[in-house]
Structure 1
């Protein structure tokens, strides 16, 4: 079917029934949830990317994981053409698969705070559209992003100094370097938080921020794929999750109130003088909107970007030929390392950007994206009922020969050349359409500035 083709009665009549979709068979009472249980289970939730690849290899281009206690079926689709069709046909308010633990936190545990302003993460439909309309314009404006080039450059320089000081006698970085990467951040709260201090105690606010950011998303899969006892009584994991989220709400509220006070005395001649937080505060006049926006940016941004940076730096260290090409381009665009970086110059880093995209294609730090069907659909020839949660595992499709020429070859040039096979929907690290990642411009900016500065430090 064409990406925008309408489904008709004939298509549904000819479709195979949902019950015939291949996948692991559930057992009575325990369904497929037992497969995620330690010791007796088959799937390691901490390595679920490997599980998604195994599904494709064992069952084919569409796989049903049903019988999950307390949640809808998951449907994995390993077909970039079908992924494109679903993205292009969706309406203005797509439903992403819900995060039940975050929904419960926002709508029940802290309903007193969120009320009718639940944000954009874990929220769907009209509520998502209304809140998004309040923050989308200031977040996505190129002018807003440009304002952060210098602040991010200063943070990056401090981080490189931190890296240099952290090396051992062999010149190696510490084993916990993935923890250290979480220290980079500047946008969400519009302030330096002190995370780059060389000695942070476990009880300090900066270290608590780092720990909370890592915890925020990494245990969501455990809460949601294992038996959801937390929905009925406060399990230790759920209690820790709630305390973690309460800390973030408190933190965001504190810094947004400080930003509001600064804004009252700030001389503003044009919108270009305002930071992201200040734009939202000025346009909406409600500090709670800015607080919830900052919370959502932290929840989905800090850990994801940090892991992406780890992956990019690691791949660059292994691939000296590509590393040299990047360094050559960066030094051509920025011949004077002491001259401040500009947004216009970053736009000239074509090979560097292609290197990053190739890392995302081969070693994505996210499994993929997805949608909750709001109406029946026909996917890969099967009649899929509404309510099923469809997963687009681009960590797998980006490495499939059907969609990418020589997928096992690390080749940044593929993003700069027109020859060869490269399906535009096989690798989508930021998603697509109305629910594309709101913070993608800031993520790209942080990565590009870091690579530009690191190339002069090595």
Structure 2
């Protein structure tokens, strides 16, 4: 850990916002009823003329040559990347509701905005092709290293502008349609049943799951995504899986690709100019993904050639994309993006949800009661309509995402000058919406330190709709969110109905890899109900 973060010991998870500075920023939008600019209103010349200059936005001061990049350097730096969720909280406490982190070598300034009304306004005013803060390493890989493969259709992850719009328009209809998702209830339930059998056999004499259970959750997640994106069972839940097996190599490659994004992008970007060891391994990992997806897409294409199809309902998601577009590369890139982002994101979210369930037994019992009521016969297959009745269970998940947001923040790269919290912000700045903090601010959520799933089912109390957005918002909302929700709901419905989860070890702190999740062995105890 960097030196200064040792002074952050008072901050424990979840974040609680105390003594946050309000007046220093002059933000006029701290209360919805006081907002001076409507969410979709155009900014007038008068608003720009009255705005403070960008140079006055508070934040850590850069030093000559090294800027603020030195703060992320091991040993001498202040900030440990794994503690970046705490760093975002520190920025709010130290500087206020808008914070500029400039002087980052090789990348634009980061502007942290801790006001849900401003976040809403930025989201609602964006055009049809909003720019997310890019992943320069993935951009370089898709547009330069493997331009021969990606060409003009590089996917949706790390892609922006017209290329992003064109590709998304080709795949979003089959991915986002509820009828497509419904087709995967039975396959995901089958994968989940196999996973629970695996869990039953993996327990020790006390009923505790193994130290590496988080990796087992990755195996379940990959098996689900493989079934959706590649139309196949990858064999991830085999009891004799080796470290060199294809499923484990996929998991390791996905973890490496995502978990080193922050290292590649926040530290000195030498990899842009010379092939550093980390960059070389990143490229090799990505090449492995491309080869793997191409192999399974080609197999699916061959099966489709001989498949008897009477209607579109006979087709899987992958087959619908292959048939409608006629280009297997589109299906390959779609699968690549779903696997690359989905494995670690869903796995870390599930780790957090199960840990919170095991340490909040009262709420877990409420879930179990609801699940037994909706699914009284455990031998009867799950159907989509009944999953929709799990109101409290879904509220529990939302509350975990609010207090322990798996994605620590969303953001946008400004495509034009804007006025944010009273400051004139120039085009090109990368605006960060730190969901992990805003979801725990009393200005936007009533009693944010209280874990209360019921808040999502009640109309009273403060709950700003833009304080906690686990999947983002607008045109760039998570493309695979319906499948992520489906997998999580089926797992909880099957597992919590049959087993009581407990945790009897040292409490786990949360840390950032690429996601925000419990850090340490997830040794849950499974007890038959």
- For the criterion TM > 0.5, the same-fold answer is yes
Provide, for residues 252-292 of structure 1, a one-character-per-residue CA deviation record: whole Å limited to 9, x for no partner: 00000011011111111111111110110010010000000
Whole-angstrom CA distance in 2 between matches of 1:185 and 1:348 = 27
> 1:263 is matched with which residue?
304
How far residue 213 of structure 1 moved from its aligned partner, in angstroms, is 1.7
Whole-angstrom CA distance in 2 between matches of 1:367 and 1:263 = 40
Residues 185 and 402 (structure 1 numbering): CA distance in 2 closer, same or farther, change over 3 Å?
Answer: farther
Whole-angstrom CA distance in 2 between matches of 1:257 and 1:90 = 38
Instruction: Determine if the alignment matches structure 1 residue 447 to structure 2 residue 488.
Output: yes
Whole-angstrom CA distance in 2 between matches of 1:200 and 1:234 = 33
Residues 263 and 120 (structure 1 numbering): CA distance in 2 closer, same or farther, change over 3 Å?
Answer: same
Check whether the contact 1:33–1:68 (CA below 8 A) recurs between aligned residues. Answer: yes
Check whether the contact 1:155–1:185 (CA below 8 A) recurs between aligned residues. Answer: no
Residues 185 and 411 (structure 1 numbering): CA distance in 2 closer, same or farther, change over 3 Å?
Answer: farther
Which residues of structure 2 form unaligned runs of 5+? 1-36, 220-224, 495-515, 518-529
Check whether the contact 1:136–1:438 (CA below 8 A) recurs between aligned residues. Answer: yes
Whole-angstrom CA distance in 1 between matches of 2:475 and 2:295 = 31
Whole-angstrom CA distance in 2 between matches of 1:445 and 1:216 = 25
- C-alpha RMSD of the superposition: 1.9
Whole-angstrom CA distance in 1 between matches of 2:82 and 2:54 = 29
How far residue 356 of structure 1 moved from its aligned partner, in angstroms, is 0.4
How far residue 311 of structure 1 moved from its aligned partner, in angstroms, is 0.4
Residues 287 and 185 (structure 1 numbering): CA distance in 2 closer, same or farther, change over 3 Å?
Answer: closer
> 1:66 is matched with which residue?
102
Provide, for residues 66-99 of structure 1, a one-character-per-residue CA deviation record: whole Å limited to 9, x for no partner: 0000000000000000000000000110000010
How far residue 170 of structure 1 moved from its aligned partner, in angstroms, is 2.0
Check whether the contact 1:106–1:114 (CA below 8 A) recurs between aligned residues. Answer: yes
Instruction: Determine if the alignment matches structure 1 residue 397 to structure 2 residue 433.
Output: no
Whole-angstrom CA distance in 2 between matches of 1:427 and 1:444 = 16
Aligned ranges 1:120-131 → 2 under 5 Å:
120-131=156-167
The alignment partner of 1:182 has SS state of helix
Provide, for residues 159-178 of structure 1, a one-character-per-residue CA deviation record: whole Å limited to 9, x for no partner: 11111111122211122211
Check whether the contact 1:99–1:224 (CA below 8 A) recurs between aligned residues. Answer: yes
Check whether the contact 1:150–1:340 (CA below 8 A) recurs between aligned residues. Answer: yes
Whole-angstrom CA distance in 1 between matches of 2:342 and 2:227 = 11
Whole-angstrom CA distance in 2 between matches of 1:152 and 1:104 = 34
Instruction: Determine if the alignment matches structure 1 residue 214 to structure 2 residue 252.
Output: no
How far residue 54 of structure 1 moved from its aligned partner, in angstroms, is 1.1
Provide, for residues 81-125 of structure 1, a one-character-per-residue CA deviation record: whole Å limited to 9, x for no partner: 000000000011000001000000001110110011110111111
Which is further off, 81-90 or 260-269? 260-269
How far residue 378 of structure 1 moved from its aligned partner, in angstroms, is 0.2
Check whether the contact 1:401–1:407 (CA below 8 A) recurs between aligned residues. Answer: yes
How far residue 187 of structure 1 moved from its aligned partner, in angstroms, is 1.4
How far residue 300 of structure 1 moved from its aligned partner, in angstroms, is 1.2
How far residue 5 of structure 1 moved from its aligned partner, in angstroms, is 1.6
Whole-angstrom CA distance in 1 between matches of 2:310 and 2:178 = 19
Whole-angstrom CA distance in 1 between matches of 2:382 and 2:40 = 42
> 2:58 is matched with which residue?
22
How far residue 199 of structure 1 moved from its aligned partner, in angstroms, is 2.1
Whole-angstrom CA distance in 1 between matches of 2:462 and 2:189 = 36
How far residue 47 of structure 1 moved from its aligned partner, in angstroms, is 2.1
Aligned ranges 1:365-404 → 2 under 5 Å:
365-404=406-445
Whole-angstrom CA distance in 1 between matches of 2:137 and 2:62 = 24
How far residue 203 of structure 1 moved from its aligned partner, in angstroms, is 1.3
Aligned ranges 1:197-208 → 2 under 5 Å:
197-208=238-249
Q: Which of 448, 451, 466 is matched with 1:410 structurally? A: 451
Whole-angstrom CA distance in 1 between matches of 2:355 and 2:121 = 34
Whole-angstrom CA distance in 1 between matches of 2:204 and 2:50 = 65
How far residue 185 of structure 1 moved from its aligned partner, in angstroms, is 5.0
Check whether the contact 1:185–1:302 (CA below 8 A) recurs between aligned residues. Answer: no
Q: Which of 114, 119, 123 is matched with 1:83 structurally? A: 119
Tell me the TM-score normalized by structure 2: 0.85
> 1:323 is matched with which residue?
364
Give every structure 1 segment of 4 or more consecutive aligned residues whose post-TM-superposition deviation is greater than 2 Å: none
Whole-angstrom CA distance in 2 between matches of 1:227 and 1:262 = 47
Count of matched residue positions in the alignment of Structure 1 and Structure 2: 455
Which is further off, 164-173 or 178-187? 178-187
Which is further off, 24-33 or 1-10? 1-10
Which is further off, 399-408 or 209-218? 209-218
Whole-angstrom CA distance in 2 between matches of 1:98 and 1:156 = 34
> 1:438 is matched with which residue?
479
Whole-angstrom CA distance in 1 between matches of 2:260 and 2:143 = 19
> 2:345 is matched with which residue?
304
Whole-angstrom CA distance in 1 between matches of 2:55 and 2:202 = 55
Whole-angstrom CA distance in 2 between matches of 1:298 and 1:58 = 38
Provide, for residues 121-151 of structure 1, a one-character-per-residue CA deviation record: whole Å limited to 9, x for no partner: 1111111100111001010011110010000
> 1:231 is matched with which residue?
272
Which residues of structure 1 form unaligned runs of 5+? none
How far residue 303 of structure 1 moved from its aligned partner, in angstroms, is 0.4
Whole-angstrom CA distance in 2 between matches of 1:357 and 1:205 = 33
Provide, for residues 401-422 of structure 1, a one-character-per-residue CA deviation record: whole Å limited to 9, x for no partner: 0000000000000000000000
Check whether the contact 1:181–1:310 (CA below 8 A) recurs between aligned residues. Answer: yes
Whole-angstrom CA distance in 1 between matches of 2:227 and 2:95 = 44
Whole-angstrom CA distance in 2 between matches of 1:214 and 1:337 = 34
Check whether the contact 1:281–1:290 (CA below 8 A) recurs between aligned residues. Answer: yes
Whole-angstrom CA distance in 2 between matches of 1:360 and 1:425 = 13
How far residue 345 of structure 1 moved from its aligned partner, in angstroms, is 0.6
Whole-angstrom CA distance in 2 between matches of 1:428 and 1:187 = 24
